[in-house]
Structure 1
Amino acid sequence: MWVTRFAPSPTGVLHLGHVASAMSGLSYARPGGRWLIRMEDIDPQRCRPEYARQLLEDLAWLGLFSDAPVLYQSACLAEYRQTLDILEQMGVLYPCFCTRSDIARESAAIFSAPHAAPDGSLLYPGRCRSLPAARREELLARGRPHVLRLNMQRALECAGGAESLYYNTPEGRRVQCWPALFGDVVLARRDIPASYHLCVTHDDAKQGITLVTRGEDLRPATDLHCLLQNLMGWPRPHYTFHPLLCGADGRRLSKRDNARSVRAMREAGMCKEEVMRAAGF
């Protein structure tokens, strides 16, 4: 019996890609398990309470209800800060004062072209990692904007090396993780107090998630999440990955591409069974 979760960001209304993701987790949780809803709403620029409310309304119309109170990440900021404090005490975090253009310019100078991590972000060359302590304290005292980065090499040493990092699939297959491919990843941004990577691993542990069902696009990030779980001593859930739902043009259904919303389908007179079929269930 699995404990799974559906964790949308309330930056728009529910669409078929959401439904497919939600049902993927629910299919493992039923019968006998638990299926939880989490709102990943820590981005103040894009997330809105009305979207969260509408997401829950549309899920309820489909007959999908969380087996526990909905967790809102915006209510967990102090807990994320505590996690960052622990990582700082372990010596695996450092402040980075570089801008995106700084990183692109330095990366191009070192590698001939900017290198990317598995999630598409620029691979950080490491300038601030070796910043003298006095200079670092001076910049912090002056209020210089910065992010907090994970010192990947030190983190791997604290975690016992890459060979200790792996996850299991529901079928029992062990998959080796290679988080070093992400380089010194950002765990807290200037505008958001904690990154997706930190929040999602914290919340999976807090909610007792035993199986994470996620899209294929997030498979690479799982390696980094396993590293954070190891560092924090959090339980490591099993992982499985579902195909991304695509439209007739072959493109992934997403809010940014104006995927047809469940609400629009409801207003057009479709019943929930028709919506489920359109999502592949």
Structure 2
Amino acid sequence: MPRVSIVIPNFNQHKYLPACVDHCWFQTHADLELIIVDGGSTDGTKDYLRGLPEELNLTESNPILRMGEDGSIVHKRCRSYREDTHATHPERILKIIASEEDLGRTGTYNAGFSQVTGEYCTYIVGDDLPHPHMIEELARALDETGADLAYSDFTIVTDDDRIMRLVRKPDYDFKECFAEWFHIGVSTLHRASWLKKTGLMDENYQFANDYAHYLRMAMNGARFVHVPKVLYSVRFHGAMARHEESLALARLAREHLAKTGGKA
């Protein structure tokens, strides 16, 4: 089973970050590397990250109950994050990169991507929630199809975790997924080798950095596969200022189609 690296970029998301980390930590995929990158937060995130390694080692959950041979109730304390008897949750690799300076949105992503050691990698922003089987399902799709990037459907949720919308993504087609608009979405996993083939995220794009990154992969021959399952929840805080960047990238995708005679 391949190692998967998850980059968690964060800036002033302390309200949501612990839940995001938990949802990443308890993925059903066994071999995970979590790389949390904080780009100069001022909201208490630094204190949380400073105490996170100890929390992962020491936090205990409610006791497991069973009836003993004498009819008494037996209490067994269990470690929340590192329960040795739970085969699906072996030791995780945790890396924390805490910057005193604001790295910029895309710079924060790149600080994490530059440290990945897994065969596959993705990013999950600090206020989103990957569903428990996300990594397992997307990694299986890459293994079985030989694709370079797998993506899935997702939900959009409010600050109080109410579902606003279920987003069904289309099966992959370059024109539909890049030239008409960005329809790959946020629930993705790709081969880490592409970070060397096409480079890290383009820091000229601060809002549509994923659009730019995956478009560059597609224009260089990457193969994409859609997994038609809801595996992720993205948190909605209001309109994102990404339209101008997205328009520029859609134009770039159309220019690419024109140059290649309609072939991606």
Instruction: Using structure 2 for the length normalisation, give the TM-score.
Output: 0.31
- Normalized per residue, the structure richer in strand is 2
Q: Is the helix fraction higher in 1 or 2?
A: 1
